[in-house]
Amino acid sequence: MMTYKSIVVVVVVLFSLVVKAQEKDKNLPEGNTAFTEKNYGDAETNYRISASKFPKKADAYYNLGNTIYTINQPAEAKFAYENAINNATTRTAKHKAFHNLGNVLMKEKNYQAAVGIYKQALINNPADEETRYNFALAKKMLKENPPKDDKKNDKEKDEKKEQDKKEKEDKKDGDKDKNDNKGDKDKDKKDEGKNEKDDKGDGKKPKESQISKQRLQNLLDAVNNDEKKVQEKVNAQKVKGKPVETDKDW
């Protein structure tokens, strides 16, 4: 059996749910007024509050995207339009959000993505001539500015990285060879210097060599003296045996 206290609790809960369901979004219209008056700061604030209170409503996200795009923040506006698309419940709301998201992508020069987004906008509203024009323009810009092949770029980067690595290794090996050759050259030079030192000695001749040369000179002098004496004796004998010449008698 339900007590009086339990009945009161149930009534309070039901009343709270009814009040919440009847709560109105005051920030959305205030944001619209501020946007019309070009007071974009207040408009952005009100739209954000509205989106936080009613996260399932697409209008606040869509208007927030328009405000942010107007103050030249397309990258952030892109997320607002995506939220609007995810929460939109009508084809008209989806078309508008897709169209404006395509405009953001065009401003970012992401023509390939813009073509796909404008196509989605046309699916939701094939009769919109502005979207059809933007779709054709995006295809034209994509043809004139084809996207770079990411795989090709990655391959080129890998090749360049491999080449740089190879050049670095070659340089390292070259420096090593250079150092090895320098070491061999220094070693050869050192050995050559050692050999020259061994050949030259300490610059002092052995005392024995000095004695041998002196003795040789003494012997030579002795021979010369003996030869001189012999020659003197021969000359003396020649003088002794030769007649003395006199003056001619005419």
SS3 (DSSP) at 1? coil
Percent of the chain with pLDDT over 70: 56
Query: How does DSSP assign 65-102, residue by residue?
Result: HHHHHHTT-HHHHHHHHHHHHHH--SHHHHHHHHHHHH
Q: What is the pLDDT of residue 216?
A: 66
For residue 80, which of 43, 51, 117, 106 has the smallest C-alpha distance?
51
* Domains detected in the chain: 22-76 (1.25.40), 90-145 (1.25.40.10)
- What span, in angstroms and rounded, lies between the C-alpha atoms of 144 and 6? 72
Q: Predicted confidence band at 17 (pLDDT cuts at 50, 70, 90)?
A: very low
Residue 229, pLDDT score: 64
- When pLDDT is averaged across residues 33-39 and rounded to a whole number, the result is 95
Both structure tokens of 8: 């009161």
Q: Residues 109, 113, 117, 118: what is their CA dihedral angle, to the nearest 10 degrees?
A: 50
pTM, rounded to two decimals: 0.54
